[in-house]
Every structure is written in structure tokens, then in C-alpha cells.
Structure 1
Amino acid sequence: MTYAGWILLTGILVGVTCGMIGALLVLRKMAMIADAISHTVLLGIVLAFFVTQSLNGLPMLIGAGLIGLLTAFLVQWLDSSGVQSGAAIGVVFTSLFALGVVLLSFVGDGVHLDVQHALMGQISYVPWNTWSLGGINLGPKAVWLLGGVLLLNIVTILLFYKELKVSTFDPKLAASMGIPIVFLHYLLMSLVSFSTVASFDSVGAILVVAMLIVPGATAYLLTDRFGFMIILSACLGALAAVMGYGLGVWLDVSIAGAMATSCGILFALAFLFSPRQGVVTKWWNRKVLKESVNHP
């Protein structure tokens, strides 16, 4: 595959992986906790490097997963202790993220991990960081890592589809049916952590928030069907990646930034022209209704 092809494939995998999990976060009104986890996993990555002296996929996933769970636990604990929900997220998010940034300064210049890379990502470098087996180049590590996390997300959603659907729309009913609400909550937080760390090389800790939330928010404006919203969100994430790549190359700007911008463009179009909830659509329908009343 060509250099451009690897970049485009990586972007699409980021969009699909984050998009399908983002749909669940939007439906559960947990967008801000995703923002927090997308930053605090930096601490997990740095701690994993200190332990293993390696940036291989598995240690990073384990470190990010543990810190993601810790973030969700601390937010829930502070919230149940009387701290306002938004404040709890802010305290945990800033504290753990700041600690990760401080520890990151001790990593060293010889390692492909620094503050700029962690915050903004650099998808243009992804094709050069490859895996080899027996002298055979298997392609970029980021593609394999994203592919593995995407497969994990798909399998998890399929296995717990009914439980996720019931607990998302009616937690009390789910609890009365014996569905493990707490387990599903932390399972979802783990998937968010894995999806975030898999996207680090491509879009970084800041722009991954756009991939996690905006496609799901866009899909929410376009459909009210649970399963279709997950699929649509993944497709919108992939579309934003393709649009962003083209926009980034055309304007010679950050490709990751252009992908996030494309997410915003798609959301704006849905917000204005969605068949049911679009601002322009509602205005036009009111205008047509008013004219039909005045001129029967």
C-alpha cells in the first residue's frame, strides 16, 4: 500500500473505532467523561513505558485501560460523595492529565513520545512506524493496533447488545432485570480507554475527543434507532477521516486537525438540515404549514 493509503486507512480506522463507541457515550450522556479519559490515559501510557521501557501496543493498552477505569471510578466516587458531576470530572481530568504531562518530561528525547505528539498526534508519521515479522514488513503498528481495538469493540457490542440497549435507555429497568449496570459502565470506560490510546499516534489526546463525540452527536440528529445510530456514527467517522485527509492535503495543513474539522462540518450540516431535527428543516416545515393554513 502507498504512503497516502496507509494514512487514509489509519484515519478511517480511527473514525470507525471511536465513532461506534462515541454513539453509546452520547446516548448515555457521558460525553464529558470521554473527554476526561481521552486525556488521562496519557498517564497510563507513560507509566506503562516506565515499567516496560517499550511503547508496544499491549502494555499501552493495559496502562490506558487501568487509568481509564481509575478515572471513571474517581469521578463516580466524587459524584456520589456530593461533588457536582462537572466539577468531579474537572478535578480528576486535570489532576491525572497534569501528572501524565509532568512524568512525560522524564521520558527522554530518544523516544517517540512527547507532549506535542501526545496532545496533537501526527498521522503523517504513522506509515514509518511499522511492524516486521521474519523480515516481512506487516505495515504500520497503528493500523494493527486500531484494527485489534475495533474488533474488540465490535465483539463486545454484539455480545452485550441487548444489555447495553436496555441500560442506556432505562437503567432502572435494566437493574430490575438483573443486568449488571456497574459492569457495563466500566466495560464501556475500558473500551473508551482502548480506543483513545489506539488513536494517539494519529490524532493525539485532544483531537480524539472530536472523533469520539462528534460523529455520535451527528448520528443522534439523523436517527432514533439504537443499532443504526452506532453504525451511522461509525460511517460518519470514516467519512470525516476521508474528507479530512483530502482537506488537509489540499490546504497543506494538519491532517488530524482537518479530520476533526470535517467532523464539525458534518455535524453542522446535520444540525441545519436533519430531516427531523434540523433548524432549517423545522423552519421550512413551519413556513409550509403556515402557508397551507393561510391559503387552503
Structure 2
Amino acid sequence: MDYTAWILLTAALVGLSCGLIGVFLILRRMAMMADAISHTVLLGIVVAFLITNQLSGPHMLVGAVIAGLVTAFLIQWLHSLDIELHASMGIVFTTLFAIGVILISTSVGNAHLDVKHALMGEITFIPFDTSDYPIVGEVPTATAMLFIVLIIVLIFIIAFYKEWKLTSFDPALAASLGIPVLFMHYLFMGLVSITTVASFDAVGAIMVVAMLITPAAAAYLWTDKLSIMLVLSGSFGVVSAIIGYYIALWIDTSISGSMAFATGIVFVISFILSPKHGLVSKWVRPNEQLDG
């Protein structure tokens, strides 16, 4: 595969993984959680680097997942103290992200890890950092990690589809049926953390948030059926990645920023044209009733 193909494949894997996870974030009314975890994983990555002095390896993933789970726990704890949920998210993620930024500025030194890299990613350099794998040969490290994360996400969604469907739509009913709602919540937060950190180095926090929320929000406008919503959201993520890449080439700007912008284009089109919630359908239906 050539340079462009690796970038497109990497971005498509981000779009697909984040699109699938994002559906459950939207259904749980936890869109802000994506913003929170996508920023606080920076603290986990920095702490892992300070402990090991290495910018790659499984310890980075472990550090980020721990940071994501700590974020979810602190938010839940503050909410249990009668602080409004979105306020809890804002307090926790800004505080932990600020700690991460301070550590980068004061302790990390000359390592290839800075705030701009954290926000925008380095997807243009992905094809140059490769690892050798059996059968497939040399593959960009970030691409391989994203593929593994996608498989993990698919396995967990399929294995716990009914549980997450129930806990997303009706947690009280799920609890009455004996489903461990709190365990499922933290398991899901772990998946969000894994998906976020796998995408983090390649595309940065901005695109991670865009891919977690916007494709899922667009899919929500098209259907009320969860299985179809998952397919649509993943597809919108992939389409946004491809469109965004060519927008970036066209106007010579940030690839990650353009991909995030492309998710907005997909949402606007869905908001206008979706058959149930779109502006056109809302305008046509009253006119049809008047004509009738």
C-alpha cells in the first residue's frame, strides 16, 4: 500500500471504531464524556512516559485506560454528591487535562509529545513508523493498533449487545433484570478509553471527539433501530475520514481538522435530509396535511 492508502486506512479505522462507540455515548446522553476522556487520556499517557521514559508500547495504552477509568469514576462520584452531570464532566476533564499539560511543559522535556500534537495528532507521519508482523509484513504501528482495537470493540459490542442496549435505554429495567449496570458502565468507559488512546496519537483529541459524537448524532437522525444506527454511524465515520483527507489536500490544511470538519458536513446533510427528523421532511409533512 502507498502513503495515501495507509493514511486513509488509519483514519477510516478511527472513524469506524469511534462511530460504533459513539452510538452508545449518544444514547446514554454522555456526549460530553467523549470530550472528557479524549482529553484526560493525555494525563495517563504523560504519566506512563514519565514512569517508563518510552513513547510507545503497551504501557501507554494501560496508562490511558487507567486515566479514562479514573475520569469516569470521579465524574460519577461528583454526580453522586448532587453536582449536575455535565458540570461534573467539565470539572474533572479540565482539571486532569490541565495537569497533563503542566506535566508536558515541566517534566517531559524534548520528547515528541506536546500540546499541539495532543490536540491535532500526527497522521501524516503514521506511514513512517512501522512494525513487522507475520503474514502481512510491515504495517504502520498505529494502524495495527487501531485494527486490534476495532476487533476488541466489535467483540464486546456483539458479546454484550443486549446488556448495553438495555442499560442505554432503561438502566432501571436492566438493574431489575439482574444486569450489573455499574459494571457495564465502567466496562464501557474502558472501551471508550481504549478507542480514544488508540486514535489519540494518530489524529489528536479534536478528531477523536468529532468522530465519537458527530457520526453517531447523524445516524440517530436517520433511524431509531440500534443495529442500523451502529452501521450508519460507523459508515459516516469512514466517509468523513475519506472526504476530510481530500478536503485537506484541496485547501492544503490540517488533515485531522479537515476530517473533523467533514463529520460536520455529514451531520448537516443528515439534519436537512433525514426522512424522520430532517428539516425537509418536517417542512413537507405539514404541507401534505394541508393539501389533504
TM-score tier, shorter chain, comes to: over 0.9
Name the aligned partner's letter for residue 108 of structure 2: V
Q: Is the 8 A contact 1:39 1:206 kept in 2?
A: no
Cα distance in 2 for partners of 1:219, 1:122 equals 28
Cα distance in 1 for partners of 2:128, 2:200 equals 15
Structure 1 residues 227 and 7, CA gap change in structure 2 (3 angstroms) = same
For residues 153-232 of structure 1, the aligned pairs below 5 Å read 153-232=153-232
Report the alpha carbon displacement of residue 137 of structure 1 after superposing the two structures with TM. Answer: 5.7
* SS state at 2:240 partner: helix
Match of 1:107 in 2: 108
Residues 195-246 of structure 1: per-residue CA shift (max 9 Å, x gap): 1111112221122100000010000001111111112111110010011111
Match of 2:259 in 1: 259
* SS state at 1:179 partner: coil
Match of 1:78 in 2: 78
Name the aligned partner's letter for residue 108 of structure 1: G
Match of 1:23 in 2: 23
Cα distance in 1 for partners of 2:206, 2:43 equals 14
Identity over aligned pairs, percent: 53
Name the aligned partner's letter for residue 81 of structure 1: L
Q: Is the 8 A contact 2:245 2:258 kept in 1?
A: yes
Cα distance in 2 for partners of 1:84, 1:291 equals 46
Match of 1:37 in 2: 37
Name the aligned partner's letter for residue 226 of structure 1: L
Q: Which is further off, 267-276 or 54-63?
A: 54-63
Match of 1:270 in 2: 270
Name the aligned partner's letter for residue 107 of structure 1: V
* SS state at 2:139 partner: strand
Structure 1 residues 57 and 277, CA gap change in structure 2 (3 angstroms) = farther
Q: Which is further off, 82-91 or 175-184?
A: 82-91
* SS state at 1:139 partner: strand
Q: Is the 8 A contact 2:38 2:200 kept in 1?
A: no
Calculate the TM-score normalised by the size of structure 2.
Answer: 0.96
* SS state at 1:199 partner: helix
Report the alpha carbon displacement of residue 62 of structure 1 after superposing the two structures with TM. Answer: 0.6
Report the alpha carbon displacement of residue 122 of structure 1 after superposing the two structures with TM. Answer: 1.9
* SS state at 1:65 partner: helix
* SS state at 1:102 partner: helix
Residues 6-30 of structure 1: per-residue CA shift (max 9 Å, x gap): 1000110010011100011001111
Q: Is the 8 A contact 2:133 2:139 kept in 1?
A: no
Calculate the TM-score normalised by the size of structure 1.
Answer: 0.95
Cα distance in 2 for partners of 1:74, 1:285 equals 46
Report the alpha carbon displacement of residue 133 of structure 1 after superposing the two structures with TM. Answer: 5.9
Q: Is the 8 A contact 1:71 1:92 kept in 2?
A: yes
Q: Is the 8 A contact 1:23 1:217 kept in 2?
A: yes
Cα distance in 2 for partners of 1:29, 1:57 equals 33
- What 5-or-longer segments of structure 1 have no aligned partner? none
Q: Is the 8 A contact 2:104 2:114 kept in 1?
A: yes
Query: For this pair of structures, how many residues does the alignment match?
Result: 290
Q: Is the 8 A contact 1:57 1:145 kept in 2?
A: no
* SS state at 2:108 partner: coil
Match of 1:60 in 2: 60
Q: Is the aligned partner of 1:124 residue 2:124?
A: yes
